[in-house]
Amino acid sequence: MENLKLEELFQEKLDREEKIEPKDWMPEKYRKHLIRQVSQHAHSEVIGMQPEGNWITRAPSLRHKVVLLAKIQDEAGHGLYLYSACETLGISRDELNEQLHTGKAKYSSIFNYPTLNWADIGAVGWLVDGAAIVNQVSLQRTSFGPYARGMVRICKEESFHQRQGYEIMAEMAMGSQEQKEMAQDALNRLWWPSLMMFGPHDADSPNSGNAVKWKIKRESNDELRQKFIDKTVDQAKVIGLSIPDPDLKWNEERGHYDFGEINWDEFYQVINGNGPNNVKRLAHHKRAHDEGEWVREAATAYARKQTIKKNVA
């Protein structure tokens, strides 16, 4: 069948709200778009373990340590589902890692900021996982089957992560004066970078046109950012913290909060490799990947042995 006709049938399928599965015909641009987004998402989950892992040995109690460990292990699991979903699009794990290491593939800007103290672990859980859920709930309805199904489990786990972070923030905000100041300082530093997680404004988002047409994106960058702000402002009020935005104001007519302008220069600096911790994050990932070579070799040798055994039997 001609490509044009196939594309027409593909779009009709999307319009009927049917999922696209790995063996279905899909336009090459749709495949590439998804490989870009799903791999960026997988890399974010894995790189996101670094700022949190930084605090495992210094968690203030055994309970906090166990909960943080469980959360970080969940992130590794999310990375694995997403890499697997991405591989069904015809790209290998080695190629995906190569794209990360050479800078061809991005990961979320937020993980290039440092976690300076325990309050930052609270802010990451509350704000970063909170922002991730808002985006990912929407992605449960994305058009590519393996990605949409992966999101269902990921969202359940993310909501535990968000609560873990909010609990830390609430404890600190209601603790001593010094703890309250630490919680407010973490919110001050991580608020704006969390808003950047949703990407540029819709009018400046080059990938949104196709993403909406192909139902990969079900809500726009700005719509999701607004949803996150509306939810989070009230959560901050409950624990007595203030959002560091003098322009933040409830807009009765819109039924949403108005908010100040994001520093887009900072955003583009960070996504182009010049954030506070970009170099450190990638160097650490490369080192861990190299040091894990023996595990990959052992796993491949074991799989090969099992295949030989099966063929002989």
**For residues 32 and 296, which CB has a smaller minimum distance to ligand BYC in the complex?**
32
**For residues 172 and 196, which CB has a smaller minimum distance to ligand BYC in the complex?**
196
The DSSP result for the chain, as a single string, is: --HHHHHHHHHHHHHTTPPB-TTS---HHHHHHHHHHHHHHHHHHHHTHHHHHTTGGG-SSHHHHHHHHHHHHHHHHHHHHHHHHHHTTT--HHHHHHHHHTTSS---GGGGS---SHHHHHHIIIIIIHHHHHHHHHHTT-SBHHHHHHHHHHHHHHHHHHHHHHHHHHHHHTS-HHHHHHHHHHHHHHHHHHHHTT-S-GGG-TTHHHHHHTTS-SS-HHHHHHHHHHHHHHHHHHTT---S-TT-EEETTTTEEE-----HHHHHHIIIIISTTHHHHHHHHHHHHHHTHHHHHHHHHHHHHHHHHHHH-
Q: In terms of C-beta density within 10 A (0-12 exposed, 13-18 middle, 19 or more buried), how is residue 158 classed?
A: buried
Q: Which stretch binds ligand BYC (CB under 6 A): 14-22, 85-93, 129-137, 177-185?
A: 129-137
Smallest separation, CB 36 to ligand BYC (Å): 5
**For residues 72 and 180, which CB has a smaller minimum distance to ligand BYC in the complex?**
72
CA distances in angstroms from 203 to 93, 98, 200, 208, listed in the order given = 33, 31, 8, 9
Smallest separation, CB 83 to ligand BYC (Å): 13
| 182-201: contacts with ligand BYC (CB under 6 A) | 196-200
Q: Which stretch binds ligand BYC (CB under 6 A): 41-49, 59-67, 226-234, 297-305?
A: 41-49
**For residues 26 and 43, which CB has a smaller minimum distance to ligand BYC in the complex?**
43
Q: How far, in Å, CA of 188 to CA of 222, rounded?
A: 21
Smallest separation, CB 304 to ligand BYC (Å): 33
**Closest chain position to ligand BYC (CB):** 48
**For residues 159 and 188, which CB has a smaller minimum distance to ligand BYC in the complex?**
159
What character string, x for contact with ligand BYC (CB under 6 A) and - otherwise, covers 66-85?
---------x----------
* Binder among 11, 205, 235, 269 for ligand BYC (CB under 6 A): 205
* Binder among 67, 89, 119, 128 for ligand BYC (CB under 6 A): 128
Residue 58's Cα: distance from chain center in Å?
Answer: 24
Smallest separation, CB 256 to ligand BYC (Å): 19
* Binder among 97, 271, 275, 281 for ligand BYC (CB under 6 A): 271
- Residue 208 contacts ligand BYC per CB under 6 A: yes
- Residue 211 contacts ligand BYC per CB under 6 A: yes
* Binder among 34, 48, 134, 162 for ligand BYC (CB under 6 A): 48
Smallest separation, CB 199 to ligand BYC (Å): 3
Q: Say how many residues touch ligand BYC, by CB under 6 A.
A: 27
Residue 16: what are its φ and ψ, rounded to 5°? -85, 5
**For residues 183 and 216, which CB has a smaller minimum distance to ligand BYC in the complex?**
216
The count of other CB atoms within 10 Å of the CB of residue 272 is: 12
- Residue 129 contacts ligand BYC per CB under 6 A: yes
Residues of this chain that bind ligand BYC (CB under 6 A): 36-37, 40-41, 44-45, 48, 75, 106, 108-109, 128-129, 132, 135, 196-200, 205-208, 211, 221, 271
